[in-house]
Amino acid sequence: MKLSESSTENKTPIQLSELETPVLVLDQNTMDRNIGRLQERLAGFNVTLRPHVKTNKSADVAKRIGAPGTPITVSTLKEAEYFLEHGWTDILYAVGIAANKFDHVARLKQRGAEITVILDNVETAVVLAEYCRESNLSLPVLIEIDTDGHRSGVQPDAPLLLEIASRLGKSTEVGGAWLAGVMTHAGASYDCETTAEIEALAEQERAGAVHAAERLRNAGYPAPVVSVGSTPTAHFARSLEGVTEVRAGVYVFFDLVMHGLGVCEQSDIALSVLCTVIGHQKEKGWIITDAGWMAMSRDRGTSKQKVDQGYGVVCDIDGKPIPGLIMLQANQEHGIVGHRDDTSLTPMLPVGTKLRILPNHACATAAQHDSYTVVAGSHTVEAHWPRISGW
């Protein structure tokens, strides 16, 4: 049967074995442990945790991290809209702002959002400053810093940093885009091979962002915010001196990429896709399921790691990995499961068997679904939590 909004109110609890598949399953107990782990770790540093809700895109999940009103990070303005409607107002939009989004940001401000935007070029700084002056809009801006060559941002020592700053205001004066500080994302931490490398990159991330902020302050810009973050560096940073806030997102669920980096154990992965065995290709050693890349995503993030997990690790309905089994291939609606080393060793699980597949990338897999089917360490469905998608 298909889970509906009202089905959790039935006297007889629904079991995973009863569900129409594929279904995105979230183990709340595991998720809560993950949330508590990072909160406990950061408690020893004088920083604010600004979780990145792009991973969960759900008010129900976000409430487990912090009550509405706590700071959050978003990756789309649709997320900002959604979380504002659910009570979150302190929002960092952590993708470089573009002129075609200025009006949307202004509407969010008018509705009570304390939204901050980011940029890394003079062109955008000029047009944003002009827009804010003409609109009498006071808007905090962070300059994105490139601390690892991963993607966007300004080098901490680049003259461009001060050139961008010169186009922005220095205070919260009404009617202007003002420089609130800097932010960076150590995305290269996803390519590390050891925890020692992650620790080194975390220090590189911290030092680069702090240095950029100090340059701005020495030039007369207050730059009160120094925002850093990625799930790996948040868990392995040894110092956060000079940092004011840390951002992380996938730590709430974890995934096989994080496991491959040594950030978590497979048992810490809170998200899985429930699917059903619908057939076999015995001569090939294949088990066919009803969860292809439309359910798992095309993310192959573990392919560059020491252990390639295909499209996901195959577990039984209890969430326990079945030795050697991974999703070898994924068509749109069909998943091909087999033994990672030798498909002649694939156990031909009976048609109708329910399996749970652990994802390579929790953000990408969750994005394929419109809701979470919530369990708490058992087969019993505890709740149904909707999530948003799109831009």
pLDDT digits (tens, 9 = 90+) for 304-320: 999 999 999 999 999 99
Fold annotation for 31-254: TIM Barrel (3.20.20)
pLDDT digits (tens, 9 = 90+) for 242-284: 999 999 999 999 999 999 999 999 999 999 999 999 999 999 9
User: What's the confidence (pLDDT) of residue 116?
Assistant: 98
Per domain, the residue ranges of the chain are 7-23+263-386, 31-254
Among 2.40.30.10, 2.40.37.20, 1.10.287.1080, 1.10.10.10, what is the CATH number of 7-23+263-386? 2.40.37.20
User: What's the confidence (pLDDT) of residue 7?
Assistant: 42
Low-confidence stretches of the chain (pLDDT < 70) are: 1-10, 173-174
Of the candidates 92, 385, 61, the residue with the CA atom closest to the CA atom of residue 226: 92
